[in-house]
Chain A
Amino acid sequence: MKQFQYIRSVSQKAAISAITQEPKAKFVAGGTNLLDLMKRHVMTPERLVDINKLPLRDIKEENKGLHIGALALNSTVAEHATIVKKFPLLAEALNAGASAQLRNMATVGGNLMQRTRCPYFYDTTTPCNKREPGTGCSALNGFNRMHAIFGATPHCIAVNPSDMNVALIALDASVQVSGPKGDRIIKMQDFHRLPGDQPEKDTILDKNELITAVTIPASTLTHNHYLKVRDRNSYAFALVSVAAGLNLDGKTIKVARLAMGGVAHKPWRLTAAEQSLQGKQVSIEAFQQAADIAMQGAKGYGHNDFKLKLAPNTIVEALKIASRI
């Protein structure tokens, strides 16, 4: 690992000023992603600003919605009684990710910011636009089993690997951030980017901005399921995952929320598919139709062609399990 400066901040203000002073500074929370990347020289910050002492761990109900501090641990969130009861999608998604040990270290802010698991991104001997802009994308014509089927460009076909993000986008969450220029609220939908011609940028967060919390509005979803399909039955990233939430009145779908993971450079909300379900009776046909709509514009890159079939299947199955038909 390259030498770096380490600063532990105890206040939000100090943390933001510490990050602003040094152009190659990074926040560190659980460290479960950043330290791995540093050990492999994929990320080489000059300064680490440790934010673990900041008072950003609280989880509380706010106007029937939820406020989750950026430093709340993935495991704490997944086990939180209110979340398990009222926002089960989030709890299920978190528990589907990583391992118990990792979830005990990982924070909500870190999870939002975790980087892609594209193997070329991790291997500094191979070209990768995300790691070294302009060198090319090795995955495009290479081993791209885990890669995107939506929104990719020849510059980068990587996916956002997070499970939590899929649930958060389905739940219409927002990210609260604070920076040298003040505070702002970013909608989950806008937080992560598509690669375009700047795959080095995962999110729209400014380098000097600190995530302070995630908020989720009150949920009316009565039927939920997070379904993750992976190459082994635990401790593996999603081939495809689906967060499905429904508000059912009898058999009628009042509200539908759908998002997918493992398919794009950002958590992938399926708005058109949601709309197609609205007002319909729950049925396999309706789910199949929604899945067909969701898949419009999907494109495989070889190794990941199977996702063109697996993704709609998983949408249908998640909806089926959520609606218990």
Chain B
Amino acid sequence: MNTFFKADEPLQRVDGKMKVTGAAKYAAEYVLPDCRYAVLVTSSIAKGRIKSLDTKAASNAPGVIAVISYLNAIRPPGYAADNEHPTEPATGGQPHRVFYDNKVYFNGQPIAMVVADTFERATYAAHLVKAQYIVEEHLTDLNKNLDKGVLPASAKKNPKSPLADYDRGVVDGYKTAPVKLEMEYEHPAEMHNPMELQAIVAHWETDDKLTLYDKVQGTQPTQQNFAKEWKLPPENVKVIAPFVGGAFGNALHNWPHETAAIIAAKMIKKPVKLMLTREQMFFMVGYRPGTFQRIGIGANRDGKLVGISHFSIGQTSSYEEFTESVLQQTRMMYTAPNVSTRYRILPMDVSTPIWMRGPGEATGAFALESALDEIAYELNIDPLELRIINHTDQDPERNMPWSTKYLKECFKLGAEAIGWNKRPLKAGTLSDGPWKIGYGMAVGTFGANRRSAKVRAKLFANGSLLLQSAVTDIGPGTGTAMVGIATDAIGIPADQITFQLGNSEFPVAGNQGGSSTVNSVGSAVLAVCDVLKQKLLEMANQNMPEFKSATLEQVTFSNGGLQLKGGSAKTTIGDLMKKSGSADLDLIEEAKPGPEAAKYSKYSYSVHFVEVRVHSITGRIQVTKAVTCADAGKIINMKTAGNQMIGGVTGGIGMALTEDAVMDHRFGRYMTKDLADYHVPVHADVPHIEVRFVDKPDYIVDPMGTKGIGEIAIIGVAPAIANAIFNATGKRIRQLPITPDKLI
């Protein structure tokens, strides 16, 4: 039994029953009257032009209403105006403009779309569309073109950008150290494979009013994007996404298929449903970019790091500049006086990557935390000890204090739980018959982010509370966390609080991403509850003699009522409102980070410990134990927080051992593109995962004291496993995934 699963955990998932009984409705499940079905036809070349498109057979197939391509698609007005896509991705460049012209930018690009009366007929007819191409030479192989990397535009413009070249101390100072190592690490593209396929139902309610049932991580960012694309006032675009079946970053971007569905709906003047196939998920909706990294690391014999130089180059598309923060951990985690980081991207004839859980940092940590392990062996110092030796009590990158940092407590919790002190320092020491046994650990970190957010509260005369936010819940249990925060704050029982989300018409919230939802939206929940409490107190002051001069400090809010501290006077909220003749209360509050926060460096931390067994003859690998510890600030709900950590470690096992998007560069096409060939971990790959939280608040980040969990859950897992494999076998594998062939 996992220790974090407290039997008395007060709050179960508020939508758990809906999810397991099928009552939760996902994008593709919306049934609109008169809805039609669109299926995409995709390119089979990576670069070139469409010479001809034969749509005749498809057009004549039964049930087909339209075959849409660059030849006849209407152009979103946003396209036409300035000849480029109107929405600027956070990362630079411009999103792919679907059906804009005959150019092919990547293999698997949507080149046409069939709309029919049923999904099956659309699927069949899509297959009848035939394209002829003028093929151009494509570039898809990162490893053969490492010298062609470029600095991202944002870093060129702004030398202070975290993506810009960074030097602390002497450039390549590691070279002067008595002990130094230079290594290269790489991992392939990892494909987003949430359970729920990308899907959208697009409905033009009128000529200029658009409603989208869409799989997204942000209803309002999506609303903004499509309002720009279609030149509509934002309030004319409504985005609905109350349930999202996993996303992991995949739906932080609006993709070509969404515009395609909107185009189709506009053209046929009917609602259109479009769901990608699993195979299409591999081609056009983002992935963790394949990345090559080089590290030079140097230390003194006593373990003090002298320097680290870290170079990273990742793939991006030719039309959009995708960037991620790969090198942050290298700059801030350890005390080394000389640190240089260089971040490059390589535009290629592939689709645009997108952030995937632990974006950038999971990539960087693989190299950094492996390198630390490597030098620990070189120095004959325990890898955990090496991290303690180089622990920093303030941010060496920005010379600022940490808001909070309980990394050493994580070390202690994890080391105890896995029995780290019994681990032999020498690699290849432990075995059980043909199985080699090893232990490894690694650290992860991610910024404790917070954005401004608003929450609406409706307090009804019966004492029940409704909260609303535009935020989405991609799985962590946002509603559950928010209900938990509200019940703690205002004392209304959880079963009388409803948290509605996933609708762009609700108050402002950004994307669910970057481990920032609880920090941001939770703060707004707290703020709105504070105002409600003030209002209730005023009612009590005026209408109940016992409460006449009571202040907030003198009153407790619990069990759905107010009570004087140390006294017997009490009332339920319902009675109070009745007595006061109050109507339902309805208000919106905003919460945003204050100026104090800017004076600190704010991060969450994780430490992962694993035990692995490697079969010395057949190379089979089994992760047999995992202990994952986090300093994520105050934990709002142990159960959902624990679920996050377990999910992250599972994803990390995939990154380390199984996931491999293999491209055949002759075609520029992925060849592992279904769940039989692209291996995500299954139960047999995942051990019991023990979770430990420090559970200490950080009030600089936000008033609840939370710091964020989603990303740190995976960051550092892959190197912990690679390090354990080294400890077991003496084999250092620097190329993920680590499969049996690499260990025989």
Of all chain B residues, the one with the shortest Cβ separation from A235 is B682
Query: In the complex the two chains form, is B669's CB within 8 Å of A233's CB?
Result: no
Of all chain B residues, the one with the shortest Cβ separation from A239 is B740
Q: How close is B582's CB to chain A, nearest CB, in angstroms?
A: 56
Query: In the complex the two chains form, is B127's CB within 8 Å of A229's CB?
Result: no
CB of A125 within 8 A of chain B? yes
> Which B579-638 residues have a C-beta within 8 angstroms of A?
615, 617-620, 622
CB of A314 within 8 A of chain B? yes
Inter-chain contacts of A235 with B (CB < 8 A): 682, 684
Inter-chain contacts of B667 with A (CB < 8 A): 125-126
Inter-chain contacts of A233 with B (CB < 8 A): 620, 622, 682, 684-685
B652-677 toward A: CB 8 Å interface, digit per residue (1/0)? 00000110001010110101111011
Inter-chain contacts of B617 with A (CB < 8 A): 313-314, 316-317
Query: In the complex the two chains form, is B741's CB within 8 Å of A232's CB?
Result: no
Inter-chain contacts of A123 with B (CB < 8 A): 669, 671, 673
CB of A85 within 8 A of chain B? no
Inter-chain contacts of B739 with A (CB < 8 A): 231
Inter-chain contacts of A3 with B (CB < 8 A): 124
Q: How close is A105's CB to chain B, nearest CB, in angstroms?
A: 15
> Which B193-245 residues have a C-beta within 8 angstroms of A?
none
Please measure, in the bound complex, the distance between the C-alpha atom of A313 and the C-alpha atom of B571, giving whole angstroms: 76
Please measure, in the bound complex, the distance between the C-alpha atom of A313 and the C-alpha atom of B684, giving whole angstroms: 22
Please measure, in the bound complex, the distance between the C-alpha atom of A119 and the C-alpha atom of B661, giving whole angstroms: 12
Q: How close is A324's CB to chain B, nearest CB, in angstroms?
A: 12
Inter-chain contacts of A185 with B (CB < 8 A): none
Please measure, in the bound complex, the distance between the C-alpha atom of A3 and the C-alpha atom of B127, giving whole angstroms: 12
Inter-chain contacts of B124 with A (CB < 8 A): 1-3
CB of A236 within 8 A of chain B? yes
> Which A272-325 residues have a C-beta within 8 angstroms of B?
306, 309-310, 313-314, 316-317
Q: How close is A157's CB to chain B, nearest CB, in angstroms?
A: 15
Please measure, in the bound complex, the distance between the C-alpha atom of A100 and the C-alpha atom of B434, giving whole angstroms: 29
> Which A124-143 residues have a C-beta within 8 angstroms of B?
125-126, 138, 141-143
> Which B373-400 residues have a C-beta within 8 angstroms of A?
none
> Which A222-238 residues have a C-beta within 8 angstroms of B?
227, 229-237
CB of A8 within 8 A of chain B? no
Query: In the complex the two chains form, is B684's CB within 8 Å of A234's CB?
Result: yes
CB of A117 within 8 A of chain B? yes
Query: In the complex the two chains form, is B669's CB within 8 Å of A125's CB?
Result: yes
Q: How close is A68's CB to chain B, nearest CB, in angstroms?
A: 26
CB of A80 within 8 A of chain B? no
Inter-chain contacts of B681 with A (CB < 8 A): 232
CB of A53 within 8 A of chain B? no
A134-159 toward B: CB 8 Å interface, digit per residue (1/0)? 00001001110100000000000000
Of all chain A residues, the one with the shortest Cβ separation from B107 is A125
Q: How close is A260's CB to chain B, nearest CB, in angstroms?
A: 13
CB of A41 within 8 A of chain B? yes
Of all chain B residues, the one with the shortest Cβ separation from A44 is B127
CB of B572 within 8 A of chain A? no
Please measure, in the bound complex, the distance between the C-alpha atom of A101 and the C-alpha atom of B361, giving whole angstroms: 37
Q: Which of A117, A306, A317 contacts B676 (CB 8 A)?
A: A117
Q: How close is B135's CB to chain A, nearest CB, in angstroms?
A: 13
A194-238 toward B: CB 8 Å interface, digit per residue (1/0)? 000000000000000000000000000000000101111111110
User: How many of chain B's residues have a CB under 8 angstroms from any CB in A?
Assistant: 36
Q: How close is A172's CB to chain B, nearest CB, in angstroms?
A: 26
Q: Which of A145, A232, A237, A317 contacts B618 (CB 8 A)?
A: A317
Please measure, in the bound complex, the distance between the C-alpha atom of A1 and the C-alpha atom of B125, giving whole angstroms: 9
Please measure, in the bound complex, the distance between the C-alpha atom of A3 and the C-alpha atom of B61, giving whole angstroms: 11
CB of A120 within 8 A of chain B? yes
Q: Which of A119, A227, A230, A239 contacts B671 (CB 8 A)?
A: A119
Q: Which of B622, B662, B669, B740 contacts A310 (CB 8 A)?
A: B740
Please measure, in the bound complex, the distance between the C-alpha atom of A2 and the C-alpha atom of B667, giving whole angstroms: 26
Indicate whether A229 sits within 8 Å of B658 (C-beta atoms), given known contacts A117-B676, A125-B669, A138-B664: no
Inter-chain contacts of B682 with A (CB < 8 A): 232-235
Query: In the complex the two chains form, is B123's CB within 8 Å of A1's CB?
Result: yes
CB of B558 within 8 A of chain A? no
Q: How close is B572's CB to chain A, nearest CB, in angstroms?
A: 51
Indicate whether A143 sits within 8 Å of B622 (C-beta atoms), given known contacts A125-B667, A231-B740, A234-B684: no
Indicate whether A231 sits within 8 Å of B679 (C-beta atoms), given known contacts A142-B664, A314-B618, A317-B617: yes
Inter-chain contacts of A125 with B (CB < 8 A): 44, 667, 669
Inter-chain contacts of B737 with A (CB < 8 A): 231
Query: In the complex the two chains form, is A239's CB within 8 Å of B664's CB?
Result: no
CB of B88 within 8 A of chain A? no
Of all chain A residues, the one with the shortest Cβ separation from B653 is A232
Query: In the complex the two chains form, is A232's CB within 8 Å of B685's CB?
Result: yes
Query: In the complex the two chains form, is B677's CB within 8 Å of A310's CB?
Result: no
Inter-chain contacts of A117 with B (CB < 8 A): 676-677
Please measure, in the bound complex, the distance between the C-alpha atom of A142 and the C-alpha atom of B657, giving whole angstroms: 22
Query: In the complex the two chains form, is A229's CB within 8 Å of B619's CB?
Result: yes
Which has the most chain A C-beta neighbours within 10 Å: B619, B674, B740, B741? B741
Query: In the complex the two chains form, is A119's CB within 8 Å of B677's CB?
Result: yes
Inter-chain contacts of B546 with A (CB < 8 A): none
Which has the most chain B C-beta neighbours within 10 Å: A119, A122, A138, A317? A119
Q: How close is B377's CB to chain A, nearest CB, in angstroms?
A: 26
Please measure, in the bound complex, the distance between the C-alpha atom of A144 and the C-alpha atom of B90, giving whole angstroms: 38
Q: How close is B131's CB to chain A, nearest CB, in angstroms?
A: 10
A24-41 toward B: CB 8 Å interface, digit per residue (1/0)? 000000000000000001
CB of B120 within 8 A of chain A? yes
Indicate whether A310 sits within 8 Å of B619 (C-beta atoms), given known contacts A1-B123, A120-B671, A143-B662: yes
Q: Which of B658, B664, B671 contacts A232 (CB 8 A)?
A: B658
B336-355 toward A: CB 8 Å interface, digit per residue (1/0)? 00000000000000000000
Query: In the complex the two chains form, is B740's CB within 8 Å of A236's CB?
Result: no
Q: How close is B620's CB to chain A, nearest CB, in angstroms?
A: 6
Please measure, in the bound complex, the distance between the C-alpha atom of A141 and the C-alpha atom of B665, giving whole angstroms: 11
> Which B691-744 residues have a C-beta within 8 angstroms of A?
737, 739-741, 744
Of all chain A residues, the one with the shortest Cβ separation from B672 is A119
Q: How close is A40's CB to chain B, nearest CB, in angstroms?
A: 8
Inter-chain contacts of B6 with A (CB < 8 A): none
Q: How close is B41's CB to chain A, nearest CB, in angstroms?
A: 12
Of all chain A residues, the one with the shortest Cβ separation from B683 is A234
Inter-chain contacts of B615 with A (CB < 8 A): 317
Inter-chain contacts of B658 with A (CB < 8 A): 231-232
Q: How close is A325's CB to chain B, nearest CB, in angstroms?
A: 11
Please measure, in the bound complex, the distance between the C-alpha atom of A213 and the C-alpha atom of B194, giving whole angstroms: 41
Query: In the complex the two chains form, is A1's CB within 8 Å of B120's CB?
Result: yes
Q: How close is B663's CB to chain A, nearest CB, in angstroms?
A: 8
Q: How close is A207's CB to chain B, nearest CB, in angstroms?
A: 24
Please measure, in the bound complex, the distance between the C-alpha atom of A68 and the C-alpha atom of B538, giving whole angstroms: 81
Q: Which of B622, B666, B674 contacts A142 (CB 8 A)?
A: B666
Q: How close is A276's CB to chain B, nearest CB, in angstroms?
A: 20
Inter-chain contacts of A309 with B (CB < 8 A): 744
Inter-chain contacts of A1 with B (CB < 8 A): 120, 123-124
Query: In the complex the two chains form, is A306's CB within 8 Å of B669's CB?
Result: no
Indicate whether A317 sits within 8 Å of B434 (C-beta atoms), given known contacts A229-B618, A233-B685, A235-B682: yes
Q: Which of A138, A236, A306 contacts B741 (CB 8 A)?
A: A306
Inter-chain contacts of B669 with A (CB < 8 A): 123, 125-126
Please measure, in the bound complex, the distance between the C-alpha atom of A248 and the C-alpha atom of B402, giving whole angstroms: 68
A239-256 toward B: CB 8 Å interface, digit per residue (1/0)? 100000000000000000
Listed A/B pairs (5) with beta-carbon separation below 8 Å = A2-B124, A125-B667, A229-B618, A230-B740, A310-B619
Q: What are the nearest 7 A-B pairs in CB distance?
A: A306-B741, A125-B44, A233-B684, A234-B684, A119-B671, A232-B679, A317-B617
Further pairs besides A229-B619, A231-B737: 19, Cβ < 8 Å: A41-B127, A119-B671, A119-B672, A123-B671, A143-B671, A145-B662, A227-B618, A229-B618, A231-B679, A231-B740, A232-B684, A233-B682, A236-B679, A306-B741, A310-B619, A310-B744, A313-B744, A314-B617, A314-B618
| A residues adjacent to B (C-beta < 8 A) | 1-3, 41, 117, 119-120, 122-123, 125-126, 138, 141-143, 145, 227, 229-237, 239, 306, 309-310, 313-314, 316-317
